[in-house]
Amino acid sequence: MTTMTNQNTAPGTGSPIVLVDMDGVFVNWGQGLNDRLLARDPRYPIVPVGQQLDYDHLCGPGGDRTVLAEVMDSEGLYLNLEPLPGAVDAILAMEEAGLDVFFCSTPFPTNPTCASEKLASIERHLGLRWVSRTILTHDKTLVRGDVLIDDHPGIIGAMKPAWRQLVFDQSYNRNLVDAPRMTGWKHWEKAIFPMLEMAGV
């Protein structure tokens, strides 16, 4: 990998900056939501993980949207999400490989504990020092970086992003047929390093 020369170089490191989304990328948000919905109502028509047809397809036919909103705003939802397979090891390996890794996540606007729980979750899974490497924002286009690993199929904001999105594979983003894609954390190197090389970093 070539030495990074563009304006996204982390001050004092000279390392490429990789931004990592949390929900649906680092932690299994879909399963956490479904578990809570079923605890609230065992007959609730959940959409199993891997069967979402679009990003907002969160309940099946007849699902009570009031119950869905209640669960999405519930305390503890974001605190107790479990990492996706290989995610923790991959984050640490990325750092070991010389990448400057930050989490970049959007708090759910109506959940009053979401932001604090996201930070607590990072501490729980990776340790306290990673809390200061977590950026919470409602506009990811304002954050500088080289690559953003994110499952969202339509990121927009106030700026033209400095980063290029590496789509983290989920059923609801497979319409992005031409986008660089990462299918899980096992072979993260094969997805990230070619993107950095193409960008000349």
Active-site residue, selected from the candidate residues 21, 100, 146, 150? 21
* Euclidean distance between CA atoms 201 and 193, whole angstroms: 9
23 is catalytic: yes
73 is catalytic: no
Active-site residue, selected from the candidate residues 23, 100, 146, 150? 23
Alpha carbon of 191 to those of 18, 69, 89: distances in Å? 12, 35, 16
One-letter amino acid at 155 equals I
* Euclidean distance between CA atoms 31 and 29, whole angstroms: 6
Whether 15 contacts 4, CB under 8 Å: yes
- Give which of 83, 86, 84, 92 is closest to 18, Cα–Cα: 92
So which residues are the catalytic ones?
A: 21, 23
